[in-house]
Structure formats: structure tokens, C-alpha cells
Amino acid sequence: LGCHLCDYAQQVLSQAQCVLPIVCQEVDIALDQNLMTKYALSIPVLKSADDGQELRWPFSVLDVQRLQDL
């Protein structure tokens, strides 16, 4: 997606996926003005599909696990 922080976040997610059953969907916020307004200064962001909780960069594998456990 052309975001170097997103590349770092993907590395964290790859590590987390070794121990957690995580399914991810990447979204290019540049394609949606509402998402750009909401997230432009805080990407990358993980959002739980279950409850909408968000985790904004920077985050660690432990942070991802905590989000998963909520």
C-alpha cells in the first residue's frame, strides 16, 4: 500500500500469526475520504472485527494479543 509503517505493522502481525489465529484485511484508506479523515494521522490501525476496538501504531505482538483477547 506504499506505507512504510504499514510494512512494519505487517511484520508484527506476521509474528503474531505464529501464535494467534488472526485473519487480517488490509484497507487502503486513500480510496475512502471518510477513512482518510479518520485515520490519516494514525495509520497503521488494527481494528477488531468482533467489537470495533482499535489498536494504533506503534504496537507489539503483545498488544495484538491483548486486542485479540478483548
At 1 the pLDDT is 54
Domain ranges of the chain: 4-69
- The pTM for the full model equals 0.84
Grid cell listed for 23? 485473519
Q: What CATH topology corresponds to 4-69?
A: Glutaredoxin (3.40.30)
- Percent of the chain at pLDDT > 70 equals 97
For cell 484508506, the residue is 29
pLDDT in tens, 8-35: 999 999 999 999 998 899 999 999 999 9
The CA distance from 40 to 11, in Å, is 21
